[in-house]
Structure 1
Amino acid sequence: MEEVIYDLIIIGGGPIGMACGIEAQRKGLNYIIIEKGALVNSLFNYPLYMTFFSTAERLEIGGVPFSCIAPKPGRQEALEYYRNIQRHFNLNINLFEKVDRVDKSNGVFSLKTTKADYTSKNVVIATGFYDIPMYMEVPGENLPHVRHYYKEAHEYAFRKVVVVGANNSSVDAALECYRKGADVTMVIRKGEINDRVKYWVKPDVENRIAEGSIKAHFYSEIIEINEKEVIINSPDGEILVEADFVLALTGYRPDLEFLKAAGVEISEGINRTPNYNPETMETNVKGLYLAGVVCGGLETHKWFIENSRVHARMIVGDILSK
């Protein structure tokens, strides 16, 4: 059987990977999308009742309208929309197939996955950032009652829950758990709730903290976790807080090791930014492109669906220009 050499292989079947596939399909390129999990896997793993910061039209891809009754769509509406995108375009996508390695030799890329080997002239990495937590690296972080992902509040009802962080995921979890009857304590490294928290949620959590419904330790961090409590380094010294569960929602990061193994240069600064041309999205490896959140390195707040949808057209346009 003759080996297929694709014009483009897209690693990642999230909204931006799908947008790249749509653009490649429209321009007649022989492409395939390879996704390690379900369609839009990161969105699938979001909290069940998460509401997007963006309005529906900012999440649209392929020119297909995203209809939503509420002012902001939630996880369920987004999953429905992107499933409909797949039905509409019938993208060439392999799900539940993980790309283990990308190599380049003699101007052609070789990809090895958990199921097969592939060859392509060009590659787009659109793998997002949600798969690797930003660990606190403290004793006890690997205990079973410590979670780095949050799905819904029911499990934590009527329990003592410590939530680490002051970003959107932490605030959403703290409020939902509190409203389901949990005794919630937040541990926050800075002196306030993050300014990037959704504007309609930030006053809510600040008011709950002010009235004492949710306890909060500012300018504080966990230094140890044991089976019954956490030890917090605070402005008042070390304090002990009982904890049946610890939600360490301290953020997530791209798989920078995967990028480096593919030959992408990564800056040594605090942001660990990949090397790419912002006009074409091509990395220092010719023919290897980045799209979406992965472009920001550890600055995971820099890119969203709404401002990185354009990457698809930029990348395919550059490929065709060559």
Structure 2
Amino acid sequence: MEVLDILIVGAGPIGLNCALEAKKNNLTYVIVEKGTIVNSLYNYPLYMRFFSTAEKLEIDNTPFISTAPKPGRQDALEYYQGIARQKDLNIHLYEKVLKISKNNDLFDIETTKSTYQARNVIISTGFYDIPNTMNIPGEHLPKVKHYYTEPYPYARQKIVVVGSSNSAVDAALETYRKGAQVTMIIRHSEISKNVKYWVKPDIENRIAERSITAHFNSELIEIKEHTVVFRDEHHQIHEIENDFVLAMTGYLPDFDFLRNSGIDLQGDCLNPVYNSETMETNVKNLYLAGVVCGGKDTHLWFIENSRMHADLIVKNILLQQ
């Protein structure tokens, strides 16, 4: 069996950047990805736009051309998948990594399709695959959606949107504009300060004019077949008619996968242990890159501020050769 210099888990933007750095430095590598190239971006809402401008999303000094000031989902898919094609990156798609084991100086990597050996492993898996559940009765009913793609299925339906982040606000505004009756259930006292600055006035104005109903300091406590039950800020219980629940409660990294790989997790946010100068974890030659570094604090790392992880990791690998 060939022993790779690097096996990269995840073909997101940062995983691709790690592969590009490995290739430039003549290191043997493979990316193993459980879905398609930039799978998380593929599963974003169809009309999503980034906070960042195009140049802040660039990797490998390859220009990201976008006609809009803020690139959208399709722009990003074209850009990152285009780089993978142009650079002929070694990517194995629709293959999930099941287990990473350290055996002396080598890693044994087991996937759904094969086994590999590598001297170094980079985990760059993001956080979009595991919904942050509410753990309430009825959450697993078919009408409950933890992922939102487009508004058309919800036309003329009674929608409850849980949360006040970007995904929740986008879902509320888009479904409202396609004729849905929208109610937002929000744990906090206001719309999140992290909401895109050009969208925040829109949702606040729709709430103020009562086009969208918002219950602040409130909590959804049960989901039924045709209704939902929530507790308001006065601790009173209400039951309202409902067709769909869009639970935009955020997403989490696969902490079990990190633990099973030997990575220590610390604190309430389950922050993975790693050296910020090299991105190496407590397991020698096992590295983290991208959003996964933040644990539950998924707002800590973005494409634009974690692009440099690839360079830090590959430099450290070269120093140890």
**TM-score, normalised with respect to structure 1:** 0.98
Question: What secondary structure does 1:122 align onto?
Answer: strand
Q: Deviations over 1:190-232 (max 9, x none)?
A: 0000000000001100000000000000000100000111110
Residues 221-260 of structure 1: matches in 2 within 5 Å?
A: 221-236=219-234, 237-260=236-259
| Unaligned segments of structure 1, at least 5 residues | none
Q: Please report how far the alpha carbon of residue 306 of structure 1 lies from its aligned counterpart in structure 2 after TM superposition.
A: 0.3
Partners of 1:265 and 1:251 lie apart in 2 by 23
- 2:18 aligned with 1:20: yes
Partners of 2:242 and 2:304 lie apart in 1 by 38
Q: Please report how far the alpha carbon of residue 52 of structure 1 lies from its aligned counterpart in structure 2 after TM superposition.
A: 0.7
- Counterpart of 1:91 (choices 85, 89, 92) is 89
Question: What secondary structure does 1:319 align onto?
Answer: helix
**TM-score, normalised with respect to structure 2:** 0.99
Partners of 2:207 and 2:256 lie apart in 1 by 39
Question: What secondary structure does 1:162 align onto?
Answer: strand
Match of 1:55 in 2: 53
Partners of 1:171 and 1:270 lie apart in 2 by 27
Partners of 1:25 and 1:13 lie apart in 2 by 15
Partners of 2:226 and 2:318 lie apart in 1 by 59
Question: What secondary structure does 2:272 align onto?
Answer: coil
Match of 1:299 in 2: 297
Question: What secondary structure does 1:46 align onto?
Answer: coil
Partners of 2:95 and 2:179 lie apart in 1 by 40
Q: Deviations over 1:149-169 (max 9, x none)?
A: 001000001000000000000
Q: Please report how far the alpha carbon of residue 28 of structure 1 lies from its aligned counterpart in structure 2 after TM superposition.
A: 0.5
Question: What secondary structure does 2:265 align onto?
Answer: coil
Matched letter for residue 244 of structure 1: D
Partners of 1:217 and 1:270 lie apart in 2 by 28
Partners of 2:233 and 2:122 lie apart in 1 by 46
Match of 1:38 in 2: 36
Q: Please report how far the alpha carbon of residue 283 of structure 1 lies from its aligned counterpart in structure 2 after TM superposition.
A: 0.1
Q: Please report how far the alpha carbon of residue 23 of structure 1 lies from its aligned counterpart in structure 2 after TM superposition.
A: 0.3
Partners of 1:200 and 1:242 lie apart in 2 by 31
Q: Deviations over 1:34-57 (max 9, x none)?
A: 000000000000000001111111
Match of 1:261 in 2: 260
Question: What secondary structure does 2:298 align onto?
Answer: coil
What percent identity do the matched residue pairs reach? 60
Match of 2:183 in 1: 185
Matched letter for residue 4 of structure 1: E
Match of 1:157 in 2: 155
Partners of 2:240 and 2:6 lie apart in 1 by 52
Match of 2:73 in 1: 75
Partners of 2:85 and 2:61 lie apart in 1 by 14
Partners of 1:110 and 1:44 lie apart in 2 by 29
Count residues in correspondence.
319
Partners of 1:133 and 1:41 lie apart in 2 by 15
Match of 2:123 in 1: 125
Partners of 2:27 and 2:157 lie apart in 1 by 54
Match of 2:142 in 1: 144
Match of 2:316 in 1: 318
Find runs of 4+ consecutive structure 1 residues off by over 2 angstroms.
none
Partners of 1:93 and 1:235 lie apart in 2 by 50
| Unaligned segments of structure 2, at least 5 residues | none
Match of 1:106 in 2: 104
Matched letter for residue 103 of structure 1: S
Q: Deviations over 1:264-322 (max 9, x none)?
A: 0001x221100000000000000000000000000000000000000000000000011
Matched letter for residue 138 of structure 1: I
- 2:247 aligned with 1:282: no
Q: Please report how far the alpha carbon of residue 116 of structure 1 lies from its aligned counterpart in structure 2 after TM superposition.
A: 0.3
Q: Please report how far the alpha carbon of residue 62 of structure 1 lies from its aligned counterpart in structure 2 after TM superposition.
A: 1.0
Q: Please report how far the alpha carbon of residue 107 of structure 1 lies from its aligned counterpart in structure 2 after TM superposition.
A: 1.2
What RMSD in Å do the two structures reach over aligned CA positions?
Answer: 0.5
Partners of 1:270 and 1:158 lie apart in 2 by 41
